[in-house]
Amino acid sequence: MKVPLSGTELEDRVAEAFRAQGYIVFTRRNHCDILAVKPNAALAYLLECKDYSLSQKQQKLAVRELNRNYTHALELLIANSLYAKTVLRVLVAQGFAYKTRGILQFTPEEIINHIKRNHTI
C-alpha cells in the first residue's frame, strides 16, 4: 500500500522530476506551488498541487487559486527574464470531481510519468 505524500513532499517530488529533465524550477515562490520552465522558454508549467482527492467545491477553489496564480507566475517569469511562449496550467491531486476546461489534470503518478516521457528540451 502506498503512503500518501504530504503537500510539500508532493511539490518537492514533482519539482525534482522537472529538474532532472533540465527545467528551470521555482518552488513555493510568489504564491506558486511549482513553476517549471524549459531552458529555451518555449514552454512553462504552472502547477497547483493538492495531496488529497478534490470534491467539486474544493476543485472549484483550486482552479480559482490556479488562475489567480497565473498572474503571479507571469511576474516571476518576467523578473527572471524568462519569456515563455506558452504557460500550461496544471492541477495535481489524488482525484478529481470533474474535468476542468483549459487546465490539465494529473494524479501525482501521472504527472511524474508525463514529465519523464516529455523530456525533450
**pLDDT tens across the length of the chain (121 residues):** 455 567 788 999 999 999 999 999 999 998 899 999 998 888 999 999 998 999 999 999 999 999 999 999 999 999 999 999 999 999 999 999 999 999 999 999 999 999 988 754 4
Cα separation, 90 vs 16, in Å, equals 16
Q: What letter represents residue 97's amino acid?
A: A
Half-sphere exposure of 93 (CA within 13 A, CB side): 25
Query: Phi and psi of 40, rounded to 5°?
Result: -85, 5
C-alpha torsion angle, residues 30, 50, 67, 14 (rounded to 10): 60
pLDDT digits (tens, 9 = 90+) for 86-98: 999 999 999 999 9
Cβ burial 70-87 (10 Å sphere, 16+ → b, else e): eeebbebbeeeebebeeb
pLDDT at res. 17? 93
Structural domain boundaries in the chain? 7-117
Topology of the domain covering 7-117? Restriction Endonuclease (3.40.91)
pTM score over 0.75: yes
